[in-house]
Amino acid sequence: MAVRNIICKELHQMRWIIIIGLLVGFGLAVILASTFGYLDQIVEEIPPELFELLSQYEVTRELLAIFGDYTLYVWSQWHAKNLYQIGALFAIIIAATQFAGEVSRRTIGYYLTRPVSRREGYLAKVASGLLVLLIIFAGGTLMIWAVSAITGQTADWGRFFVALIISLVWLAAYYLLGTIISILNREPVTAGIIIGLSGILLSLPGMFAVSRPFSIFYQMRAVDYFIYGQSLFPPLIYGLILNGILLLIGLRVFAKKDF
């Protein structure tokens, strides 16, 4: 009851983030799903000799493949682009405002003196933050599916939604890291900048083939599962383990912190 009460309060407090997130998600989903027809037409109108020439280069070969396959196209634009970029941005905003924001608004004293333990206080906030990310990105994904159905496009939706689970698990890990940074800072802007900088650091392994699997953002795209056809379990299990570790660290940091 107490935790549910806090989750309701958090969702109320983040209502504008949810509304803006859904608008952005819906907007992107509509643009993404409705523009494929034009891009597909462009690819079809490419003269065969030019098509052959473009197929010789990896970058253009990939683009031609993406524009020629709707499943590949929606994944490349959603999981591999918008979801992890905008997802990371929302994760930063939510994490920074939830903890450092509560301190800077000086409501943390009121919050922590309700009859809930620190553990419940942290978990309720984290549950709300994750719920908001889920609402925004599940909402956007469902919108892609709906617009695709309206425009008559078909894709491998099963694989698409499974890949979304992998993406959200890794996005959750980045958000949880953000909550730890946010607890340790008193200003949401400072917390947001540090979370952003940590994101840049975490993206560095993704620049090299050998270290790519260690990048949160690489995993967020679900490339191994979606493109290379590998099992969904390794990225899912590793992601969940990382989430568990970060959650435990977050709980400990929040419990020990003086406010």
Partner 1 sequence: MNDSCLQIKNLGKDFGPKTALSGVTISLEKGEIMGLVGPNGAGKTTLIKLVMGLLHPTGGSIQIFGKDRNMLSRNDWRRVGYIADEPILYDFMTVRKLIDFNKNFYPRWDEDRCRELLLRFHLPVGEAIKNLSRGMKTQLALILALAQVPDLLILDEPLDGLDPLRRLEFLNLILEDFTRQEGRSVLISSHYLEELERIADRIAFLHEGELKRVVPMEQLKVEEKTIRVVFQKEPPAALLAMPGIKAVQKEGKTGYLITIEDNFNAIYEACCSYPHYVLEIYHRNLEDMFYDYAGRDEDGRS
Q: What whole-number distance in Å separates Cα of residue 179 and Cα of residue 78?
A: 25
The number of residues that bind partner 1 (CB under 8 A) is 23
Residue 49 near partner 1 by CB under 8 A: no
Choose, by CB under 8 A, the member of 60, 62, 105, 197 that binds partner 1.
105
Choose, by CB under 8 A, the member of 11, 13, 212, 252 that binds partner 1.
13
Residue 19 near partner 1 by CB under 8 A: no
Print the binding letters for residues 116-135 with partner 1: x by CB under 8 A, - otherwise. xxx-----------------
Residue 110 near partner 1 by CB under 8 A: yes
- Residue 194 CB, nearest approach to partner 1 (Å): 22
Q: Which CB sits closer to partner 1, 103 or 147?
A: 103
- Residue 121 CB, nearest approach to partner 1 (Å): 11
Residue 5 near partner 1 by CB under 8 A: yes
- Candidates 54-62, 75-83, 99-107, 138-146 — which segment interacts with partner 1 by CB under 8 A? 99-107
- Residue 122 CB, nearest approach to partner 1 (Å): 14
- Residue 3 CB, nearest approach to partner 1 (Å): 11
- Candidates 107-115, 123-131, 176-184, 232-240 — which segment interacts with partner 1 by CB under 8 A? 107-115
Q: What whole-number distance in Å separates Cα of residue 111 and Cα of residue 13?
A: 13
Choose, by CB under 8 A, the member of 112, 131, 135, 165 that binds partner 1.
112
User: In which residue are the tokens 């083939």 written?
Assistant: 209
Gyration radius of the chain's alpha carbons: 20
Residue 2 near partner 1 by CB under 8 A: yes
The number of beta carbons lying within 10 Å of the beta carbon of residue 11 is: 16
Choose, by CB under 8 A, the member of 47, 49, 56, 113 that binds partner 1.
113
From residue 61, give the alpha-carbon distance in Å to each of 43, 54, 57, 71, 180: 11, 6, 6, 16, 42
Q: Which CB sits closer to partner 1, 173 or 251?
A: 251
- Candidates 80-88, 106-114, 211-219, 231-239 — which segment interacts with partner 1 by CB under 8 A? 106-114
Binding interface with partner 1 (CB under 8 A) = 1-2, 5, 8-9, 12-13, 105-110, 112-118, 256, 258-259
